[in-house]
Amino acid sequence: MKKLNTSPISGMQELLPAKQAIFNNLKNKIAEVYHRHGYLDIETPSIERTEILLAKAGGDTEKQIYKVNKTAESADCADQALRFDHTVPLARYVVEHENDLAFPFKVSQIGLSFRGERAQKGRFREFYQCDIDIIGRQNLPIAYDADILATLISTYNSFEIKTPIIARINNRKITTGLLNFLNLSEKSADIYSIIDHAEKIPVEKTNEALLEIGLNEDDVKKILAFINLHGERSFVVKNLSNLAVTDETFLAGVAELDQVMYLLESMGLSENISADMKIVRGLDYYTGTVFEFFLPEYREIGSMGGGGRYENLTGYFTEQKFPGVGGSIGLTRLFYVLNECGLLPDASDKTIDYAIVPISENEYDYAFNVASKLQAKGSSTTIVLTDKKLGDKITYAAKLAKYGIVIGESEAKSSHLTVKDFDTGKTSDLDLDA
Amino acid sequence: MKKLNTSPISGMQELLPAKQAIFNNLKNKIAEVYHRHGYLDIETPSIERTEILLAKAGGDTEKQIYKVNKTAESADCADQALRFDHTVPLARYVVEHENDLAFPFKVSQIGLSFRGERAQKGRFREFYQCDIDIIGRQNLPIAYDADILATLISTYNSFEIKTPIIARINNRKITTGLLNFLNLSEKSADIYSIIDHAEKIPVEKTNEALLEIGLNEDDVKKILAFINLHGERSFVVKNLSNLAVTDETFLAGVAELDQVMYLLESMGLSENISADMKIVRGLDYYTGTVFEFFLPEYREIGSMGGGGRYENLTGYFTEQKFPGVGGSIGLTRLFYVLNECGLLPDASDKTIDYAIVPISENEYDYAFNVASKLQAKGSSTTIVLTDKKLGDKITYAAKLAKYGIVIGESEAKSSHLTVKDFDTGKTSDLDLDA
């Protein structure tokens, strides 16, 4: 026999059952909260035509894309690839099914995406992305941005992780408007890029970088003061007003930020939000609200997801305009990070409630019967059917389940059952008809 | 703008939200019932090394496999492919993680598989397979076959489809033993293939086929009588005994079939099972119990899933022996078939409970507040934030949700809410604090 490598391909998540149960639990919570907030779930195919996936993308995306080919050459499978995110497939979906959807279309997508990145710790080539988006036809009021944020914050809070999460929120109109006002629009791409990196480097380096692209010291000072502005809504809005910027885009951005954060406050989420002028998000298709999630007590691990407002989802597929706002939780990375930081629930918590241990084959029928009844009541129940010694069967049962029920001749006859709690060793009677 | 084709690739499922909700509901029920029966869920990567996937397979599988390649050539992505089922990845997983698993290992896998088949009606290139398997180390008692069958039957029954499902059950040892007894072992591959097709052709054709491979008329008669044997356990077992076959394999097969079906009867599943000597399942790796699911009232649509017992899961990866029993629900095909037959629940049933309709922006904060409270109670609740006329907002709300709550100035002030049932038109008071 040829010895084959049985490890999973590097950059792919593969978990043992106990960890998988925790992962599934987070995934189910995401689905549940998204649904509870009125998002309609869809699932597009994992494989799309390459021309669709690359209609907009370029550079890195094209390099990271996984193309698929049938081994037997066939013309109808040429030029297909695995999706690298949910945004492009969503754009295609909206254009394709426009007439069957009610707009604004509140939509969720939970599924795998694929990127052939260089494998490294904490980066995955196959990963779950859990997106929500709200797509309007022609226009989409700003209050929907609060809807997206409220849903994502509620989702994180549902995880019951013992460290709080903060959404750092900005509006790109504010930054754009300020740069207009300072006559720096021509350099805005460079400045955005510098702001985007400002968090990870000392302020002197940012200062240097801004001088290097030709800004004068006065403007640099203004920009540094501006991007340092963060905190509670009323505080930040007041300070922004104090800048006395008259640019209309700036003022519109401040008003939008104010409204979005006010609505989140009215939902009791003040503790989970912070205005922050350093958040711009690199992706150039965001045009208004932008946000990223952080664990303030674990700042070093960086962003835990984010999103924002975009002017047009479908620009590459149709002349019609579909503005939207959306956000995403990168579940596979999030799970990896929470695990590394020891923030996940204990993986030794067993997910099976009862293990039924018939002593001999004579009790199998009764054991199956008891199991059916417990299962019908919603308890996860397994039956130990190995032909081993009773002690070995009980050891196996105790590895899997919280409670054990041994069934011998007398139990099968009398229908009297004793349940043993494997953790405490305590026993109690079980009345199946109760 | 170049006009791009925005339809999904042929052979891929893409549903509108209302249908997707029904699909998700079935998928969630499968996961829930599998869990309730004590199966531990795992998820292997979609992408595997080609040498792993093709270790055992040949012929059609190799032709149907989707290879993946990064656009930018890179040595570490060479020779990878999308999985075409869950069995091969499970074998790899068991060998890789053997020391961390408790055997017998009851495992479930719910996920996508990929086959580049020729696209045709009702066949999918990307499809959900929902597998359960029980893997033993060295040996696995026969009663576990009943566990698999009971779980799959309970899963189908949980769908609440208005037509019953039947598991037609056989044991390949019976057929093999009979052929031994008749001195036809040398022709058994041909005979198995003929039995496997017998259902789809008239009995005269089967008769002809058996004569063609060189059987005498007496043996043909015996085989035709044998494969026609089906029905209740005690009836079939009695008739098999009446054949007076002395072959040991035959007798072992009858005893196994008897035991498996007896245990299913003791779980109250008599209505869902039938012994049937015509079921052999083409796949040559089954060695004992085999079964397939059918809707007796929709016989023409064929098998709705199946499975069986195999001698060794991991023969291509390790010298150690891991016998198993397993079964699978092909959810994407099942969903397609149920939809075609009109057996799915009504897709017009709305999945969102409440739509909150604030009359103006002044009520947005209160509307969000009410939504949070309903969501916290577990109700799916959406807020209509468009700047349209009230009538248009209500029309949109009625498309999405079961109930509507209009919030104007007086509602926001008095906290008095009226709920309208969009189906009946009836209104009632809502007390949020109750």
Residue B316's pLDDT band (cuts 50, 70, 90)? confident
Of B309, B387, B289, B300, nearest to B337 by C-alpha is B300
Which of A201-205, B59-63, B305-309 is predicted with the least confidence, judged by mean pLDDT? Answer: B59-63
Query: Contact B401/B374 with Cβ under 8 angstroms?
Result: no
Report the share of chain B in percent with pLDDT over 70.
96
DSSP state of A16: -
Both tokens of residue A218? Answer: 């006065």
| pLDDT score, position A416 | 85
| pLDDT score, position A277 | 98
A–B CB contacts, 8 A cutoff, strictly below: 296
Query: Contact A142/A256 with Cβ under 8 angstroms?
Result: yes
User: How close is the nearest chain A Cα to the Cα of B270, in Å?
Assistant: 13
Mean pLDDT of chain A: 92
Instruction: Encode pLDDT of B249-288 as tens digits.
Output: 999 999 999 999 999 999 999 999 999 999 999 767 899 9
Q: Between vectors from CA B8 to CA B4 and to CA B11, what angle results, nearest 5°?
A: 140
- Indicate whether B420 pLDDT > 90: yes
Distances in Å between the Cα of B165 and the Cα atoms of A111, A235, B28, B232 are: 31, 65, 19, 15
- Indicate whether A59 pLDDT > 70: no
Give residues with Cβ within 8 angstroms of B6, minimum separation 6. Answer: A52, A92, A95, A96, A317
> Which residue on chain B is closest to A140 by alpha carbon?
B386
Both tokens of residue B131? Answer: 């597998």
Nearest CB to A65; choose among B16, B71, B263: B71
User: How close is the nearest chain B Cα to the Cα of A365, in Å?
Assistant: 5
| pLDDT score, position A57 | 61
Report the share of chain A in percent with pLDDT over 90.
79
Across the range A313-324, mean pLDDT stands at: 90
Sheet with strand A273-276: strands edge to edge: A40-41, A105-114, A126-135, A324-330, A306-310, A286-294, A166-171, A273-276, A230-231
Per-residue buried b or exposed e for B305-319, using 16+ beta carbons within 10 Å of the residue's own CB:
bbbbbbeebbbbbbe
C-alpha span between B107 and B140 (Å, rounded): 14
Is the ipTM reported for this complex over the cut 0.90? yes
Amino acid at the residue B81: A
φ/ψ of A367, rounded to 5, equals: -60, -45
Question: Beta A352-358 vs A401-407: how paired, if at all?
Answer: parallel
- Indicate whether B40 pLDDT > 90: yes
pTM for the model: 0.95
C-alpha span between B178 and B240 (Å, rounded): 10
- Indicate whether A35 pLDDT > 80: yes
Instruction: Encode pLDDT of A260-290 as tens digits.
Output: 999 999 999 999 999 999 999 976 789 999 9
Report the share of chain A in percent with pLDDT over 70.
96
Residue B432's pLDDT band (cuts 50, 70, 90)? confident
| pLDDT score, position B415 | 78
Rg of chain B, C-alpha, whole Å:
27
Q: Which of A7, A16, A22, A43 to mutate to test the interface with B (most CBs of B within 10 A)?
A: A43
Of A80, A126, A43, nearest to B116 by C-alpha is A80
Nearest CB to B9; choose among A35, A45, A318: A45
Q: Please report the domains of chain A, with CATH numbers, ordered by start residue.
A: 17-340 (3.30.930.10), 352-430 (3.40.50.800)
Residues of chain B found within 8 Å of residue A141, distances taken between Cβ atoms = 385-387
> Which residue on chain A is closest to B370 by alpha carbon?
A267
Mean pLDDT of chain B: 92
Residues of chain B found within 8 Å of residue A44, distances taken between Cβ atoms = 8, 14
Query: Contact B53/B2 with Cβ under 8 angstroms?
Result: no
| pLDDT score, position A75 | 43
Interface contact B372-A69, CB threshold 8 A: no
C-alpha span between A142 and A145 (Å, rounded): 6
C-alpha span between A69 and A74 (Å, rounded): 9
Query: Contact B179/B226 with Cβ under 8 angstroms?
Result: no
Residues of chain B found within 8 Å of residue A70, distances taken between Cβ atoms = 63-67, 116
Instruction: Encode pLDDT of B194-206 as tens digits.
Output: 999 998 899 999 9
Across the range B102-125, mean pLDDT stands at: 91
Interface contact B396-A102, CB threshold 8 A: yes
Query: Contact A391/A383 with Cβ under 8 angstroms?
Result: no
Residues of chain A found within 8 Å of residue B48, distances taken between Cβ atoms = 8-9
Across the range A77-95, mean pLDDT stands at: 90
> Which residue on chain B is closest to A9 by alpha carbon?
B48
DSSP string computed for B85-142? -SHHHHHHHHHHHGGGS-SSEEEEEEEEEE--PPP-TT--SEEEEEEEEEE-SS---T
DSSP state of B271: G
Residue B86's pLDDT band (cuts 50, 70, 90)? very high
Query: Contact B167/B272 with Cβ under 8 angstroms?
Result: yes
DSSP state of A84: S
The residue among B406 and A313 whose pLDDT is bigger is B406
- Indicate whether B75 pLDDT > 50: no
> Would you say the C-alpha torsion B172, B174, B176, B179 has a positive or negative sign?
negative
Which of A162-171, A223-232, A278-287, B350-359 is predicted with the least confidence, judged by mean pLDDT? Answer: A278-287
B40's enclosing H/E stretch is strand B40-41
Q: Between vectors from CA A387 to CA A384 and to CA A392, what angle results, nearest 5°?
A: 65
- Indicate whether B411 pLDDT > 90: no
Nearest CB to A9; choose among B80, B146, B366: B80
Residue B78's pLDDT band (cuts 50, 70, 90)? low
Interface contact B379-A36, CB threshold 8 A: yes
Residue A58's pLDDT band (cuts 50, 70, 90)? low
Query: Contact B354/B405 with Cβ under 8 angstroms?
Result: yes
User: How close is the nearest chain A Cα to the Cα of B221, in Å?
Assistant: 37
Which of A209-223, B61-75, B111-125, B161-175 is predicted with the least confidence, judged by mean pLDDT? Answer: B61-75
Both tokens of residue B197? Answer: 């097709």
Amino acid at the residue A347: A
Amino acid at the residue A296: P
Which of A59-68, A194-203, A347-356 is predicted with the least confidence, judged by mean pLDDT? Answer: A59-68
Identify any residues that bridge with A133 across adjacent strands, giving them in sequence order.
A107, A326
> Which residue on chain B is closest to A70 by alpha carbon?
B66
Residues of chain A found within 8 Å of residue B8, distances taken between Cβ atoms = 44-45, 48, 92, 96
Report the share of chain B in percent with pLDDT over 90.
78
CB atoms within 10 A of CB A340: 13
| pLDDT score, position B71 | 57
DSSP string computed for A171-219? EHHHHHHHHHHTT-GGGHHHHHHHHHHHTTS-HHHHHHHHHHTT--HHH
Query: Contact A66/B69 with Cβ under 8 angstroms?
Result: yes
User: How close is the nearest chain A Cα to the Cα of B97, in Å?
Assistant: 8
Identify any residues that bridge with A167 across adjacent strands, giving them in sequence order.
A273, A293
Query: Contact A179/A194 with Cβ under 8 angstroms?
Result: no
Interface contact A4-B316, CB threshold 8 A: yes
> Which residue on chain A is closest to B137 by alpha carbon?
A386
Across the range A231-250, mean pLDDT stands at: 97
- Indicate whether A70 pLDDT > 90: no
Interface contact A372-B268, CB threshold 8 A: yes
Across the range A353-372, mean pLDDT stands at: 95
Across the range B229-250, mean pLDDT stands at: 97
C-alpha span between B37 and A400 (Å, rounded): 12
Q: Which of A30, A71, A97, A316 to mutate to test the interface with B (most CBs of B within 10 A)?
A: A71
Interface contact A38-B382, CB threshold 8 A: yes
C-alpha span between A222 and A199 (Å, rounded): 17
E strand map for A96-150:
105-114, 126-135
Instruction: Encode pLDDT of B205-222 as tens digits.
Output: 999 999 999 999 999 999
Q: Which of B5, B68, B95, B273 to mutate to test the interface with A (most CBs of A within 10 A)?
A: B68
φ/ψ of B421, rounded to 5, equals: -80, 115
- Indicate whether B14 pLDDT > 50: yes
Of B292, B285, B321, B322, nearest to B306 by C-alpha is B292
Per-residue buried b or exposed e for A83-109, using 16+ beta carbons within 10 Å of the residue's own CB:
bbbbbbbbbbbbbbbbeebebbbbbbb
The residue among A312 and B118 whose pLDDT is bigger is A312
Interface contact A21-B15, CB threshold 8 A: no
